[in-house]
Chain A
Amino acid sequence: MAANSSIIADFEGQPPSSATRWPARNSMGAERRYRETHHAKGSGLSHLQELISAGEGTEPAEVRRLAGEMQIPEATLRGVLSFYTDFERKSTATRVCQGTSCKLAGSSALGASLRSNHECHDTYCLGYCHRSPAVLSSEGELFTGNDARALANGTFSGIHAEDDSTPLRCLAREPIVLRNVLKGHVRDLAAARAQGVYEALAKALRGTPQELLDTVEQSGQRGRGGAGFLTGAKWRSCANAPGQPRYVAVNGDEGDPGSFVDRVLMEDDPHSVIEGLILCAYAVGASEGVIFIRSEYPRANAVMRQAVAEAYENGILGKSVLGSDLALEVSVRTGMGSYVCGEETAMLNAIEGWRGEVRIRPPFPAHAGLNGKPTVVNNVETLVNIPYIAERGADKYSAFGTARSKGTKVFSLNHGFARPGLVEVEFGLTLLEVMEEAGQGAGGQRLEAVILGGPMGSILLPQEWGVQVCYGRMGEAGIQLGHGGLVAIPEGADFRALLEHWLEFMMEESCGKCVPCRLGSKRAWRLLHQEAPTGRLQKLNRLFDLMEAGSLCAFGQSMPRPMRKLVEKFGDRIFAPGGRL
């Protein structure tokens, strides 16, 4: 999910000087020190993952044993175990994607019929929106589209996961993000090197961190997580913050249901992610990097782990990066099934092994992030831009895009478009142009709307498609670019089902930290199913107001927006007297 937005984003960029000092007990400080003084071994979720297999750890005696091994308090451990779906459910179960795109492709029914024959559970989302529906078998085999539908017959045998390549296109003058992916898989180091990966790093290491920081700042690049915060400013803020060690955390748990660019980048251009990470570490003086990848992306996990290992073997990571004085340790951590962990502070909690709950801000991660130390959190797409900027220079990069939005953006187009896949465009193009390139609706179907940026983004009607792709323009129009996922809604779609889907998604994934999001979703769901419809619309809108204004993080704040619009524009089809009330 979008990483940067915050209820007090207005104050972002000028964190108060006291932020690092106060409040002293915030952000799991006591729990960290507890583990430190208890000489806890291993770290965080990964360690817990190693210690338990699913379903364990619920009996008091078992909790006591595990808590002793983990050196975290018993109730805290129970809280962690019950937070993540992968601990709750058997990791060996088949996962059926229930992301919006798959939902529109009938994943509810698919899931229901699969459940009658297999142990399986729902998940958001596997990142194959261009080929919905998607199912991930317990063996890690992926089934999409018709193959997935065929699974409903009750057997996995005889069906072979088809080629999983993603159609890629570039409308920009030059590909930046997809520069390597467009040339085919560059998974292994040799292939990556052949494409010039790590040359930008070599060049940057010949200069100073300050120079690199200046370059990134001058490039005007913005984080691709959703809020569009200036990458250079974030780095500078971290570089200037007191505290050691510093961290770079790569958010590989991002991507709203509907967006899959990060998955593709991690799977097909892992070394560019690592290169971006190292460049960031060099610029801000970080000595450790963590790449956090959602468990719903098993292949991205495997590829990134392999790439990190290769980088270590070849002197790209470790005590001396490319023979320089830079020392950098990098590890890959796998999420345990929580959508909110794409929110940067929730992700930091997850990496540390706590409940993936959102932290209050300030302090911002740049000042007090991972283990309470200065941390840059960047998402995958953001970091893949960095080597390009470092190598070609700020001017070259900022020549792409608009005055306020530099560079390019990759859109993820779902199966509802005639030509789904990834499309890299320069900022400044209109959304309509992007969609026309995608050939509008699949099978010539007219589109009634598109969802941009996932359930936390915007639902856009045809008259709004002329908007320029640009953080500034979109912001003015109240449109969230989010992570650039585009989900086509064909004519005649079941909007009631869509609304229910979003509310279920919210109930399922809300971290539980703040009341509007935690209880608001359920109350809205109940309103929708309440028999007497009197005043229901008004009540729903009041709830949306509350969640939007009152929630602690972007998840609760942004989820109501498309739902509100759905109710406003298609209320008759959701609440129609003759409809499925």
Chain B
Amino acid sequence: MNRALAWINNIEIEIVQGETILQAARRLGEEIPTLCYSPGLAPEGGCRLCLVEVGRSPRLAGACHTPIQHGMEITTHTPRLESLRREILTLYLEVDEQREFPTDTRDSEFGRLLEHYGLRPKSNPCAQADERSNRTHTYLRFDPDLCISCRRCLNACEQIQGQFVYGIASRGPSTHLIIGPGERFDESACVACGACVDQCPTLALTDRDRMNGKPAERVTQSVCGYCGVGCRVEVESAGNRVLRIRGVPGAAVNRGHLCVKGRYAHNYHHSPDRLTTPLKRVGSDWIPISWDEAIHFAAERLQQVRDQHGPNALGGLASSRSTNEAAYLLQKLFRTQIGTNNVDCCARVCHSSTALALQIVTGTGAASVSFADIESARCIVLAGSNATEAHPVVGARLKQAVLKGAKLIVIDPRRVELAEYADHHLQVRPGGNVPLFNAMAKVMVDEGLIDSAYLQERVESVSEFREFLRAVSLETAAEQSGVEPAKIVAAARLIGNLRPALFVTGLGLSELTQGTASVMTMANIAMLTGSIGRPGAGMMPLRGQNNVQGAADMGTMPTQVTGYQSLRDPQVRNRLTQVWGSAPPEEAGITIPEMLDAAARGDLHALWVQGEDIAHSDPNEAHVIKALTNLDFLMVQEMFFSETAKYAHLILPAAGALEQEGTFTNGERRIQRVRPAVEPPGESRADWTVIRDVGIALGAEWHYDEPAAVMKEIARVAPHLFGGVDYASMGPDGVQWPCPEPGHTGSTRVHEDGFVRGKGRLVTIAYAASPEQCSTEFPFVLVTGRVLEHYNVGSMTRRTAQCELVGEDFLEIHPDDASAIGIAAGDFVELESRRDRAKARVRLSQRMTPGTLFLAFHFPESHTNRLTSSYTDPQSKCPEYKITAVRLQPATAVPLE
């Protein structure tokens, strides 16, 4: 076939299918002016600045929306076109006598266009600009007088975030932009992602934090320090302060998009209560000490405990917010310098069930797919995840996929935002996943909605599984899961018919005593539908913290060493001996809950907690505090004086996400470079250097000058996953492991050519109810979790203006439940579980089913984890945060002790 050609300003161009004239022209470097078009958004075709001449036709074509076609001869800047463009721009300036644009508009696209065409607005009303503008939001400001109704904000809101905040009102010359139900951002569905601000060509929409802002001295590309999505950020800074953050355009993970936390909530870095010097506890006082003293004190105390009680009397918790390099060094330190496998990370208390389950049935615990598979998925199953709040950028991508036609099934006890967008919402009872998935599997098998060839080729235990399903009863499953049979059948059919499907999961599957069982029974469905290892399908657990994937990858797990390698494998031990000089003990160490139990019993004597506020975040607060107070030596690396730090003997001030170098690994196995945008305050230091120095003080011969050197060693220790990972060869979007050798470009998916473990495994698991059950005494089920505006224990977000958006943890309750016990919105209630009490303000919510409650744990004063139990999944040891039986009673606003 001949090449399809067109000409733009007499330059020949080969046509790309589906491309518009404007896109083709940009490819050639021919700039066509426009105000309403923006790459990545569907063409609006409204401003008409991009009109071009096509051949000799007197009719002009809108370049932004006219597909370029073979044989077109396009001219973009004839005198006629230029004069039309000047006329259009004049319209904005002259149509409304009242309207005044600032004369100095060079900062905006619109201003630059005016300047280019020699046009100047009449006067400068900047003085009043702030008064007339809509400032109904902490971060966003809208000045209607500057708005030219180009609709890019509206399109961005719909097509990037999917929030539908904006509308267009009226018609004719009075056509104008409107916001939400009544012109207030804070009453609208706005989630302050800022996508609209990035689009606005006139500065009608701006970030309040960047108005009259200082110019940046430095722009640093790094990775967001919040959730496990791992958005790439561009950090503007001046005078060692972070000024503003925006998404890196074209970044693989976020394509320029961010969420409210990533974009705006960065001021915690400059919080006055940052820890800036090492602190040693003397009696009830804290004494600042020098780093030298701190390092030696740490080494000395660790050694003493080891000498006195043996290596297994010590434990280390790696931070999932710190770098891979820090996590790697911490586990190496414990394994080589202390001589114990007692290292763990907070993955234990979140996705350990998911990782373990997937490792058992597929061979690897990580996501089998990339986020990019969201866009190619035909059917998405979202289970136990409130993605739009907890992983907002992935949540937005999911919503966009659905709005473009992908089918969505949401499995969640709460009517989370994405449930509104679901074709089916299965409002499962907390802990009811296993019978639900088994019943869905039964429907698929019975109705032949399975991929038989895939099963035969790639999966084992198929006949046992079929046998097991015979005994599964839809009615019983419906009773146990709380989802009516018709809904189970409908959802199973939709998935089965559209197979393969993408399974996106969150902590709602993992943080249960049936956590691993929930994930494995879901994996059954994924295998029946031939989903794992296929494009646009597979397993996508959404990882919680920025580097929780990396922390586990690096080996901060008591059972496996770096790269999920067996502690007993002779080959691995050989390699470790070569690289490390010694191999770790063969015997597995203990997990976080086990360490806390041991400490409470008096069997664990020293704990090194790196950037983890376990006194706030771990379940059964009283038990945790008992364990911490029992320790002979607790050292904490922290940015702030956390709940856990209160019990420490030594506190080491840590650098924040924007203050250090290294790598983070996101939830799609993508290792990305992190670079310091500002210096850490005072004497606070990057974790990896502190761990290195303690290691050296303990006698290690470590010579790491920079994090890159640590990564080189990681590549040698776990070559099957990281052999080709190297700072020097890493592109801006990093690399997705497995990346087994130099020159390897990384893996967007795993299990593509068969499962890592050989064959995938179907597992037969019968339902076992949680030990924590409601009773007449404790009639409500409490689910704990997170909200959009805050992040985990809130140590970062609570130190930003996020608190203006949400300033406390609310108890979400169905209005019927609330009225039954006589409480109204805004009232305080006391929650009491079998363990302890907590207090929170009530928010009535139709998202809840009657009988189920939701409470976040972002604010320490809520003491949410006083309520939660010590029950854990028997295999993964993941705590059951998602089920706590409680009772409620009206209370006063006085906080609990």
Interface of A toward B, CB cutoff 8 Å: 7-11, 16, 18-19, 21-26, 29-31, 33-34, 37-38, 59-61, 63-64, 67, 73-79, 82-83, 338, 340, 355, 360, 362, 506-516, 518-523, 526, 542-543, 545-546, 549-552
B354 at the interface (CB under 8 A from A): no
Please name all residues of chain B whose beta carbon is closer than 8 Å to the beta carbon of A7 when the two chains form the complex.
Answer: 59-62
Residue in B94, B159, B168 whose Cβ sees the most chain A Cβ within 10 Å = B168
CB B176 to nearest CB in A, in angstroms, measures 9
**A549→B164 contact, CB < 8 A:** no
Decide yes or no whether B622 CB sits under 8 A from chain A.
Answer: no
Please list the 9 inter-chain residue pairs (A to B) with the smallest Cβ-Cβ separation, ordered nearest first. Answer: A75-B167, A512-B175, A60-B182, A73-B164, A522-B173, A79-B167, A360-B45, A25-B42, A74-B181
Instruction: Tell me if B404 and A33 are in contact (CB < 8 A).
Output: yes
| Minimal Cβ-Cβ distance residue in B for A25 | B42
Answer whether residue B497 sits at the interface, using C-beta atoms and an 8 A cutoff: no
Known: A21-B18, A24-B404. 17 other contacts (CB 8 A): A11-B66, A60-B180, A73-B189, A74-B164, A75-B164, A75-B166, A76-B164, A79-B168, A79-B169, A360-B62, A511-B172, A515-B88, A515-B91, A516-B91, A519-B92, A549-B60, A551-B48
- Stretch among B359-367, B419-427, B591-599, B646-654 lining the A interface: B419-427
Asked if B69 is at the interface (CB within 8 A of a chain A CB), the reply is yes
Is there contact, CB below 8 Å, between A550 and B175? Answer: no
Q: Do B181 and A60 touch across chains, with their CB atoms under 8 A apart? A: yes
Q: Is the CB of A519 within 8 A of B404?
A: no
Complex Cα–Cα for A462 and B187 (A): 61
Minimum C-beta distance from B722 to chain A (A): 38
**A-side interface mostly:** helix
Please give, as numbers and ranges, the residues of chain B lying within 8 Å of A21 by CB-CB distance.
18
Do B182 and A59 touch across chains, with their CB atoms under 8 A apart? yes
Residues of A within 8 A of B420 (CB): 37-38
**Shortest CB distance A177–B (Å):** 30
| Complex interface: chain A residues within 8 A of B168 (CB) | 79, 355, 512
A23 touches B42 (CB 8 A): yes
Report B-chain residues with C-beta under 8 Å of the C-beta of A515.
46-48, 88, 91-92
Task: Find chain A residues with CB under 8 A from B421 CB.
Answer: 34, 37-38
Task: Judge whether A523 and B178 touch: CB under 8 Å.
Answer: no
Check B181 against A514 for contact (C-beta < 8 Å). no
Chain B residues with CB under 8 Å of A60's CB are 180-182, 184, 187
Q: Assess the B165–A82 pair: CB atoms within 8 A.
A: no
CB distance from A286 to the nearest CB of B (A): 22
**A542 and B80 alpha carbons, distance in the complex (Å):** 11
Q: What are the residues of chain A within 8 A of B66 when measuring CB–CB?
A: 8, 11, 362
Which single residue of chain A is at the shortest CB-CB distance from B175?
A512
Q: Does B408 contact A (CB under 8 A)?
A: yes
Determine whether the beta carbon of A518 is less than 8 Å from that of B172: yes
Q: Given A75-B188, A362-B67, A550-B84, verify A508-B423 contact (CB < 8 Å).
A: no
> Given the complex of chains A and B, what is the CA–CA distance between A549 and B188 in angstroms?
38
Which residues on B sit within 8 Å (CB–CB) of A77?
167
Q: Establish whether residues A550 and B181, one from each chain, have CB atoms under 8 Å apart when the complex forms.
A: no
Most chain B CB within a 10 A radius of its CB, from A23, A64, A74, A520? A74
B45, B57, B87, B180: residue with the most chain A Cβ atoms closer than 10 Å? B87
Q: Which of A30, A33, A511 has the most CB of B within 10 A?
A: A30
Q: How far is the CA of A540 from the CA of B286 in the complex (A)?
A: 79
Q: Is B65 an interface residue (CB 8 A)?
A: yes
A38 to B178 CA separation, bound complex (whole angstroms): 22
Shortest Cβ distance from A79 into B: residue: B167
15 A-B contact pairs sorted by A residue (CB < 8 Å): A24-B42, A33-B405, A34-B403, A60-B187, A75-B178, A75-B181, A340-B171, A360-B45, A510-B175, A512-B175, A514-B48, A523-B91, A543-B87, A549-B84, A552-B46
Report the separation of the CA atoms of residues A195 and B832 in the bound assembly, to the nearest whole angstrom: 81
Interchain CB contact under 8 A, A520 and B187: no
Bound form: Cα–Cα A64–B61 in Å: 40
Give, as a whole number of angstroms, the nearest-CB distance from A531 to chain B: 13
Contact at A510–B69, with CB atoms within 8 Å? no
B402 in the interface (beta carbon within 8 A) = yes
Residues on the A chain within 8 Å of B165, using CB:
73, 75
Q: Are B180 and A74 in contact (CB under 8 A)?
A: yes
Q: How far is the CA of A508 from the CA of B171 in the complex (A)?
A: 7
Q: Which residues does chain A contribute within 8 Å of B128, judged by CB atoms?
A: none
CB pair B95–A523 under 8 Å, yes or no, is: yes
Q: Which residues of B contact A26 (CB under 8 A)?
A: 42-43
A61 to B180, CA, bound (A): 11
Tell whether, in the assembled complex, residue A510 and residue B169 are in contact, meaning their CB atoms are under 8 Å apart.
no
Q: Note all chain B residues with C-beta closer than 8 A to A24.
A: 42, 404
| Cβ B422 vs Cβ A37 within 8 A | yes
In whole angstroms, how far apart are the Cα atoms of A519 and B17 in the complex? 35
Determine the chain B residues whose CB is within 8 A of the CB of A360 once the complex forms: 43-45, 62, 65
* A560–B56 alpha-carbon span in the complex (Å): 22
Most buried by B among A23, A34, A37: A37
Q: Tell me the complex Cα distance, A74–B183, Å.
A: 11
Q: How far is the CA of A542 from the CA of B43 in the complex (A)?
A: 26
Contact between A16 and B95 (Cβ–Cβ < 8 Å)? Answer: no
A511 to B44, CA, bound (A): 14
- In Å, the complex CA distance between A10 and B57 comes to 8
A202 to B810, CA, bound (A): 67
Query: Given A7-B60, A512-B168, A25 and B159 touching (CB < 8 A)?
Result: yes
Within 8 Å CB of A514, what residues of B?
Answer: 45-48
CB contacts (< 8 Å) of B65 on chain A: these are 23, 360
Residues of B within 8 A of A22 (CB): 18, 67
Indicate if the CB atoms of B45 and A552 lie closer than 8 Å: yes
For residues 867 through 889 of chain B, which have their beta carbon under 8 Å from a beta carbon of chain A?
none
Q: B87 to A546, Cβ gap below 8 A?
A: yes
B54 contacts partner chain A, Cβ-Cβ < 8 Å? yes
A212 and B408 alpha carbons, distance in the complex (Å): 42
Taking the complex as formed, is B234 at the interface, i.e. its CB lies under 8 A from any CB of chain A?
no
A60 to B186 alpha-carbon distance, docked (Å): 12
* CB-nearest residue of chain A to B69: A16
**A552 touching B403 in the complex, CB below 8 Å, given contacts A18-B67, A37-B421:** no
A interface footprint on B29-50 (CB within 8 Å = 1, 0 otherwise): 0000000000000111111100
Please tell me if the beta carbons of A79 and B178 are within 8 angstroms of each other in the complex: yes
Which one of A61, A515, A516, A523 has the highest number of Cβ atoms from chain B below 10 Å of its Cβ? Answer: A515
B308 within 8 A of A: no
Q: Contact at A33–B403, with CB atoms within 8 Å?
A: yes
Query: What 1/0 flags go to B406-449 for Cβ under 8 Å of A?
Result: 00100000000000111100000000000000000000000000
Closest to B174 in A: A512
B170 near A: Cβ within 8 Å?
Answer: yes
List residues of chain A with CB within 8 A of the CB of B181.
60-61, 63-64, 67, 74-75, 78
A362 to B45, CA, bound (A): 11
Return chain A residues, CB-CB under 8 Å to B92: 515, 519
In the assembly, what is the distance between CA of A281 and CA of B600, in Å? Answer: 78
B46 touches A82 (CB 8 A): no
Asked whether, in the complex, the Cβ of A520 is within 8 Å of the Cβ of B91, the reply is: yes
Q: What's the Cα separation between A523 and B461 when bound, in Å?
A: 76
Q: How far is the CA of A507 from the CA of B18 in the complex (A)?
A: 35
Contact across chains for B405 and A11 when beta carbons are under 8 A apart: no
Q: Is B179 in contact with chain A by the CB < 8 A criterion?
A: yes
The distance in angstroms between the C-alpha atoms of A546 and B188, with both chains bound, is 37
- B149 — which chain A residues lie within 8 A by C-beta? 512, 518
Q: Which residue of A lies closest to B68 (CB)?
A: A16
- Judge whether B178 and A11 touch: CB under 8 Å: no
Instruction: Assess the B172–A522 pair: CB atoms within 8 A.
Output: yes
- Measured between C-beta atoms, what is the minimum distance from A229 to chain B in Å? 15
Contact B179 A75 (CB under 8 A): yes
Return the chain B residue nearest A74 by Cβ: B181
B762 beta carbon closer than 8 Å to chain A:
no
A510 to B47, CA, bound (A): 14
CA distance A522 to B164 in the complex (A): 29
Q: Are B84 and A545 in contact (CB under 8 A)?
A: yes
A222 CA / B159 CA spacing, docked (Å)? 38
Residues on B with beta carbons closer than 8 Å to the beta carbon of A59:
182
| CB of B512, distance to nearest CB on chain A (Å) | 28
Contact B408 A37 (CB under 8 A): yes
Are the C-beta atoms of A83 and B170 separated by less than 8 Å?
yes
